[in-house]
Structure 1
Amino acid sequence: MTELLSNFVAGRWQLGTGAGTPLFDPVLGTELARVDATGLDLAAAFAFAREQGGAALRAMSYAQRAQLLADIGKVLHAHRDDYDAISTANSGTVKNDTAVDVDGGLFTLGTYAKLGAGLGDRRFLLDGEPARLGKDPLFQSQHVLVPTQGVALFINAFNFPSWGLWEKAAPALLSGVPVIVKPATATAWLTQRMVQDVVKAGVLPAGALSVICGSSAGLMDQLQPFDVVSFTGSADTAAVIRSHPAVAQRSVRVNIEADSINSALLLESEAPGSEAFELLAKEVAREMTVKSGQKCTAIRRVFVPQGLYAHAAEAIGARLAKTTVGNPRNETVRMGSLVSRAQLNAVREGLARLQTQATVLHDGAKHALVDADPAVACCVGPTLLGTQDADGAGLVHDTEVFGPVATLVPYRDAAHALALVRRGQGSLVASLYGSDPGALGRTALELASSHGRVHVISPDVAALHTGHGNVMPQSLHGGPGRAGGGEELGGLKALNFYHRRAAVQASTAVLSSLNPPA
């Protein structure tokens, strides 16, 4: 039997007592390893992290904890090649897609290391200016932010085993809050290995970072009032988390990132072949194929003026036709596989559902697989669908197929376009394409209330923009409504989730003593 990966809890490596759940190579079909959390003393694991790890982290300043993040980054950089191999084997990703995950995590760690260094020797943060409580200014109120004295539980998704860990862990550790991560089972190997490398290097105090691989059963039961939980995954699971007694009765703070029907919108002033038009076609094709479309921020709906529908279908399809699909170990392959057979089945089912209301404009089934057996490999070619019935095709606005699938939709005018985009009921990101700064700015503000991020691409930033689906640590990640209602990243704003805000009402002399040194 293949290796059973260890869990790291209560300051030591521990194996589960069960046979374990197998992890597979989604291209070759071979078993890689097994994970299991059966028999772990979860209460002891959470208590150790909360008491030992939390106390050690809070004893440090923000700058000292920022140095921990920098040290983690150095450890991970030293093992970068190993992560490439694990990602290829367990996630079926080509090197560029692995970079999105691994290097994205490293970049986020580095960003928060720099932000934390700027906070200096502080051990808490002031929130705003003092407020006078009466006519005499002697007695005032000052809001402060102090690290929560609990643990941060991360229940992560399968698509980003590296970035999904570090984009949450970086602000948590910087805040002084210990982390317990439960990676998605299908791709848990990379997360487990990264934690193993960091633990072996001894850069963190005991209890600061733990990993539990396998079932999530019992994890929520361990949460206490000052703990926090961050979840990335399906809306159905999010609903279970929100209704758990830890959240509903003990008021554990929760952050959710769930389903998202993200949009790309070409403004009506554009013509076929314009620079903005070509930027749309390029970005849509890229977002459909990066990580085989397995990104929560990927473009799912593409809105263009009615007169440009056929032109857009042709332009996007021409780019998709150049995508080679198959074994990521072959250097000619540009798009690897989905992460598992279950995910392949889900994509096929979702695609069939959408096809009841949309037609195929570019058929992914026509992509011959390179160095991969279609009967074994979890590969699927990029598929562009389209519908002329923008208002009646409700499934297009409600169904997220988590793979290389997007739907082209025409609109009549600007008001119609905005209404169609909002039918996504809240999304992580929308991207806008055009050349009129005023129109782009007005449209961005119109979409801001229903999106966590609005990514505006105009010809002047064609070579500079960071990409519709790339989550940058300096900007907010999250979204309202069906996207989960959560907020992550956003620079130092991410620290708010791991701090408690309180008002200190005292004399000006007392409040002056609170002012932390830089």
Structure 2
Amino acid sequence: MSELLLNHLAGRPQAGTGAGTALFDPVLGTELARVDAGGLDLAGGFAFARAEGGRALRALTYAQRGALLAAVVKVLQANRDRYDEISTANSGTVKNDTAIDVDGGIYTLGTYAKMGETLGDRRHLLDGEAARLGKDPAFQSQHVLVPARGVALFINAFNFPGWGLWEKAGPALLSGVPVIVKPATATAWLTQQMVQDVNAAGILPPGALSVVCGSSAGLLDQLQPFDVVSFTGSAETAAIIRSHPAIARGSVRVNIEADSINSALLLRGEAAGSEAFDLLAKEVAREMTQKSGQKCTAIRRVFVPEALYAQAAEAIAARLAKTTVGNPRNDSVRMGALVSRAQLSAVRAGLEELKQHAEVLHDGASHALVDADPAVACCVGPTLLGARNPDASPQVHDLEVFGPVATLMPYRDLAHGLALVRRGQGSLVASLYGSDAGSLGATALELADSHGRVHVVSPDVAVLHTGHGNVMPQSLHGGPGRAGGGEELGGVRALNFYHRRAAVQAATPVLSQLN
């Protein structure tokens, strides 16, 4: 039997009491490790985090907590090669895709470390200016933000075990709130290793950072009114979390990032082969193949003027045809595996359903696997579908295949194109491609109500833009409607979730002491 990975709870490493759930290499099929949370004293672990971890963090200033994050960054950088090995083995990712997860997480954490320096030697934040409550300015109201006196529970998805931890934990720890993370079981090894390394270094106060690997049973039962929950995953699981008795009873604050059928839209006025046209084709192909399409921000629907449908299909397919698929340990491979047999089955089933309503423009089955056994490896080639009548194909707007799959669709005019984009019922990101600044700006505002982020790509930023699916800590991550209605990151905005806002009504001299 393989190694049983340790949980970290109540300030110490702890083993579960069961045999554990196996983690596998999705390319080779070999067992890598086991995780188990059976027999853990969850109530005691949550209480320790609140009492010990929370008290110690709140005693520090933002600058001091930022310095702790900076020290954590150094630990993660020192162990970078080990994380690459784990990601290759447990997630089946090529080196460039591992960098998005590992280096992206480190960069995000470093951004919040620097933010701590900016916030300085304070333990609370002011929210706006003091406001008069009457004609006499001697008695006023000042809104303040103070750290939540609870624990932040993270229930994370399988696709970003590194970045998914730190994009949440960075703002939480900087805010002074202790963290308990429950990573998705299939890829829990990287999260567990990172937490283990940080806690072994003794940087954070005991109880500030915990990880529970394996079953999530009983975790939500431990929540109390001043705790917060951040979840990334399916809309079905999100509904269960929102309705959990402990959350409903205590009005526990919840942030959800759920399903998202993201879009890319090429504006009218562009010709086949124009720079904006080529930028669209390049970005769609990259988003389909990066992380094997296993990104919540990946492009799922592509909209082009109907006169360019055939040319766009040809341009995107030509780029996809160059993608080598297989074992990420082979330097010639550009796209690795899906993370598990369960995901492989889900992608295959979803793809077959979409094929009933769309034509195949590029068949993923045409990609022979490199250095991998098709009977064992969880690999699929990128597939581009086409729906010539998107108004009559609701499935392409409703079904997300969480893999290297996207659907190309034509639109008649801009109003029609925007209506089609909105059929996704809210998403994390939509990207626009064109060369006219006025049209791009106006269209971005038209889409802003139904997307957390609008990524605009024009020729003047061809080599500067950060990518449709790349989540930057300076910008908002989240989206309305189907995407979950949550908000993460966005610079200092991320701290709002981990603070409580209150109004202090007092004499002006008293309010001056809050500065």
TM-score bracket, normalised by the shorter chain, equals: over 0.9
Q: C-alpha separation between the residues in 2 aligned to 1:6 and 1:354?
A: 41
CA distance in 1, matches of 2:296, 2:102: 16
Partner of 2:89: 89
Give the counterpart letter for 1:306 in structure 2: E
For residues 514 and 314 of structure 1, what CA distance do their matches in structure 2 show? 62
CA apart distance, 1:59? 0.1
Task: Specify the code of the residue in structure 2 equivalent to 1:510.
Answer: V
Distance in 2 of aligned mates of 1:377 and 1:171: 37
2:498 equivalent to 1:498: yes
Q: CA deviation at 1:116?
A: 1.2
Tell me which residue corresponds to 1:260.
260
C-alpha displacement of 1:390: 1.1
Whether 2:486 is the aligned partner of 1:486: answer yes
- Say whether residues 1:177 and 2:177 are aligned partners: yes
* CA positional deviation for 1:453: 0.1
- The amino acid that maps onto 2:143 is H
Corresponding position of 1:418: 418
C-alpha distance in structure 2 between counterparts of 1:201 and 1:249, whole Å: 38
Q: Offset of 1:52 from its aligned partner?
A: 0.2
- TM-score (normalizing by structure 2): 1.00
SS in 1 for 2:469: coil
Map of 1:196 onto structure 2: 196
What is the identity, as a one-letter code, of the residue corresponding to 2:335? M
Any idea what SS the aligned residue of 1:177 has?
coil
Q: What is the percentage of aligned positions where both structures have the same residue?
A: 82
What whole-Å deviation, never above 9, does each CA across 1:365-386 have from its counterpart, x for those lacking one? 0100000000000000000000
Deviations 1:10-39 (A, max 9, x none): 011111111100000000000000000000
Question: Which AA in structure 1 matches 2:92?
Answer: G
2:398 matched residue in structure 1: 398
Which residues of 2 match residues 11-90 of structure 1 at below 5 A? 11-90=11-90
- Counterpart in 1 of 2:142? 142
Superposed CA offset, 1:365-417 (max 9, x none): 01000000000000000000001111011000001000000000000000000
For residue 165 of structure 2, what is the aligned residue in structure 1? 165
Deviation at 1:62, TM superposition (A): 0.1
AA partner of residue 165 (structure 2): L
What whole-Å deviation, never above 9, does each CA across 1:86-137 have from its counterpart, x for those lacking one?
0000000000000000000000011001111101100000000000000000
Amino acid at match of 1:436: D
Output one character per residue of 1:143-191: Cα deviation in whole Å (capped at 9) or x when no partner.
0000000000000000000000000000000000000000000000000
| Offset of residue 75 of structure 1 | 0.1
Does the residue aligned with 2:430 lie in a helix, a strand or coil?
A: strand
Answer yes or no: is 1:154 the counterpart of 2:138.
no
Q: Which residue of 2 aligns with 1:186?
A: 186
Output the CA distance in 2 between the equivalents of 1:123 and 1:245: 32
Superposed structure 1 runs of 4+ greater than 4 Å apart: none
- Look up the SS of the partner of 1:391 in the other structure: helix
Aligned-partner Cα distance in 2 for 1:289–1:390: 23
Partner Cα distance (1:14, 1:106) in 2: 26
- What SS does the corresponding residue of 2:513 show, helix, strand or coil? helix
**How many residues are paired up?**
515
The residue type equivalent to 1:231 in the other structure is F
1:455 maps to 455
- Determine the structure 2 residue equivalent to 1:5: 5
- 3-state SS in 1 of match to 2:119: coil
Specify the SS of the correspondent of 2:351: helix
* Distance (whole Å) between structure 2 residues aligned to residue 437 and residue 102 of structure 1: 35
Aligned to 1:439: 439
CA distance in 2, matches of 1:55, 1:41: 20
Cα distance in structure 2, aligned partners of 1:117 and 1:457: 33
Rounded Cα–Cα distance in structure 2 between residues aligned with 1:65 and 1:392: 54
Q: Distance in 1 between matches of 2:139 and 2:26?
A: 65
Give the secondary structure class of the aligned counterpart of 1:54.
Answer: helix
What runs of 5+ residues in structure 2 fail to find an aligned partner?
Answer: none
Give the match's secondary structure for 1:504.
strand
What residue in structure 2 maps to residue 290 of structure 1? 290
For 2:6, give the aligned amino acid: S
1:252-309 Cα offsets, whole Å, 9 max, x none, are 0000000000000000111100000000000000000000000000000000000000
Q: Output the aligned Cα RMSD.
A: 0.3
**Partner SS, residue 249 of structure 1:** helix
> C-alpha distance in 1, partners of 2:106/2:54?
23
- 2:427 aligns to what? 427
Q: Within 5 Å, which residues of 2 pair with 1:91-490?
A: 91-490=91-490
- Measured in 2, the distance between the counterparts of 1:166 and 1:204 equals 14
CA positional deviation for 1:320: 0.2
Provide the C-alpha distance between the structure 1 equivalents of 2:444 and 2:247, rounded to a whole number of angstroms. 34
SS in 2 for 1:57: helix
Tell me the distance in 2 between the aligned counterparts of 1:142 and 1:361: 59
Within 2, Cα distance between the matches of 1:360 and 1:314? 12
Q: CA deviation at 1:73?
A: 0.3
**Alignment partners' CA distance in 1, 2:487 and 2:78:** 31
Q: How far off its partner does 1:141 sit?
A: 0.2
